[in-house]
Copies of this chain bind each other. A is one copy, B any other.
């Protein structure tokens, strides 16, 4: 068994209360320097580890944060997690990480179990545009911040990519290359990125004076390659009216679109240019290398964690607004001049 505070106190010939003060940085100054020294030595000797159950029970602090992600297997999320861990880990917090698979029921259930573990705060990369968990958190006034997704009702602070700017930059870039028939394969609309990009697409098309009927949108039923392939089938079937450029909702959808193109015998980028979003790993190595926007994943994690830490520790209560981080356009080989 491991040793307890009482063991340390006994060995040091002091009262447990005193030992506690000696060992705790915030109350060390209340104890004589020699005593502190002795207690610490003995603690080290017995390699005493404070029982975090007991401490938590007393202080109502766990130094644990709950981290909800849709799926760690999606390469978007690990860098975010690392960014979070980098700041919160250094501050003494550990992360309880769960995968929700974009399942609202699972999300709520997992949240409840994390809640009963008394997490000091939460970071959610899982929010739906309307999200009961977000409401539950907000109602209970628990520190929490959203990352990569935001909710319709701005109940919690969020850190996300600047999706509106991305879409505008993408379309401007394509127009400069001579494209006028630009289509959008949108990701599902119940999550903010899909919805925001879709809306930004519509308004940008209008703002730039393109013909809306030449710029169709089709909403994919998922986030992966297969969904992209399925969604673009109809889009590229009529060789006369087909777009010359396709903006996919994310990189995986873009790959699916390119799969469809290659099975249909359409060349990318000669016939149709394709753009993705997020710049997940190895998009520079697929064929053709994908033009996409670099979401600052690590930085998003860092920012979210900083906001959460300040909130937990009472340094600053954040506004429930969204911070939009810029996403540079990475031009590679999947885009080129519009065919003549």
Q: A residues touching B (Cβ–Cβ < 8 Å)?
A: 49-54, 56-57, 62, 64, 71-73, 75, 78-79, 81-82, 85, 89, 92, 94-99, 112-118, 255, 281-282, 285-287
Contacts and interface: CB of A to CB of B under 8 A. Distances in A.
Contacts of A95: 96-98
Contacts of A72: 72, 78, 81-82
Q: Is the interface of A mostly helix, strand, loop or mixed?
A: mixed
Q: By CB atoms of chain B within 10 A, which of A50, A53, A112 has the most?
A: A53
Contacts of A52: 116-118
B62 A73 contact: no
Contacts of A50: 116
A116 B57 contact: no
A97 B97 CA distance: 7
B81 A118 contact: no
A57 B54 CA distance: 6
Contacts of A113: 92, 94
Given A96-B96, A287-B287, 9 more contacts: A50-B116, A53-B53, A53-B56, A53-B62, A72-B81, A95-B97, A95-B98, A285-B287, A286-B287
A49 B64 CA distance: 17
A118 B115 CA distance: 18
A53 B64 contact: no
Contacts of A286: 282, 285-287
B115 A49 contact: yes
A143 to B, nearest CB: 15
A127 B53 CA distance: 28
Nearest to A106: B89
B89 A94 contact: no
Nearest to A57: B53
Nearest to A50: B116
Given A72-B72, A94-B96, A96-B95, A118 B51 contact: yes
A298 to B, nearest CB: 9
A162 to B, nearest CB: 23
Nearest to A285: B286
A81 B73 CA distance: 9
Given A96-B94, A116-B52, A285-B255, A73 B82 contact: yes
Contacts of A62: 53
Contacts of A51: 57, 116, 118
9 contacts: A51-B118, A71-B82, A72-B82, A73-B78, A73-B82, A75-B281, A82-B99, A85-B98, A94-B98
Nearest to A92: B113
A156 B118 CA distance: 31
A86 B97 CA distance: 13
A57 B116 CA distance: 14
Nearest to A136: B47
Nearest to A55: B53
A118 B79 contact: no
Nearest to A258: B285
A115 B48 CA distance: 11
A52 B112 CA distance: 12
Contacts of A89: 98
